[in-house]
Chain A
Amino acid sequence: DVKVTQSSRYLVKRTGEKVFLECVQDMDHENMFWYRQDPGLGLRLIYFSYDVKMKEKGDIPEGYSVSREKKERFSLILESASTNQTSMYLCASISAPGHPNFGSGTRLTVV
Chain B
Amino acid sequence: QKEVEQNSGPLSVPEGAIASLNCTYSDRVSQSFFWYRQYSGKSPELIMSIYSNGDKEDGRFTAQLNKASQYVSLLIRDSQPSDSATYLCAVVRGDRGSTLGRLYFGRGTQLTVWP
B residues 81-105 touching A (CB-CB < 8 Å): 88, 90, 92, 95, 98-100, 102-105
Q: For residue B90, which residue of chain A has the nearest CB?
A: A100
Cβ B99 vs Cβ A105 within 8 A: no
Classify chain B: how many residues form its interface, as a range. Answer: 20 to 34
> What residues of chain B lie closer than 8 Å to A35, measured between beta carbons?
105
Considering only CB atoms, which chain B residue lies closest to A105 in the complex?
B43
| Residue in A56, A99, A104 whose beta carbon sits within 8 Å of that of B34 in the complex | A99
Is B34's CB under 8 angstroms from A41's CB?
Answer: no
Interface contact B43-A90, CB-CB below 8 Å = yes
Tell me if A51 is interfacial: C-beta within 8 Å of chain B: yes
Residue A30 at the B interface, CB < 8 A? yes
Instruction: Establish whether residues A51 and B99, one from each chain, have CB atoms under 8 Å apart when the complex forms.
Output: yes
Cβ distance B96 to chain A, nearest Cβ, rounded Å: 11
Interface segment out of the listed A42-50, A65-73, A74-82 = A42-50
Name the residue on A nearest B45 (C-beta). Answer: A102
Contacts of B102 in A (CB 8 A): 45, 48, 56, 58
Q: CB-CB < 8 A to A92: which residues of B? A: 103
Contact, CB under 8 Å: B104 / A45: yes
Residue from B42, B100, B105 in contact with A96 in the complex, judged by beta carbons closer than 8 Å: B100
- A31 located at the interface, meaning its Cβ lies under 8 Å from any Cβ of chain B in the complex: yes
Q: Mark A74-109, 1 if CB is under 8 A from B, else 0.
A: 000000000000000010101111011011110000
Identify the A interface with B (CB < 8 A).
30-31, 33, 35, 40-43, 45, 48, 50-51, 56, 58, 90, 92, 94-97, 99-100, 102-105
Interface residue ranges, B against A (CB under 8 Å): 32, 34, 42-46, 49, 51, 88, 90, 92, 95, 98-100, 102-108
Nearest 8 Cβ contacts at the A-B interface? A42-B107, A43-B105, A50-B98, A102-B43, A105-B43, A31-B100, A30-B99, A99-B49
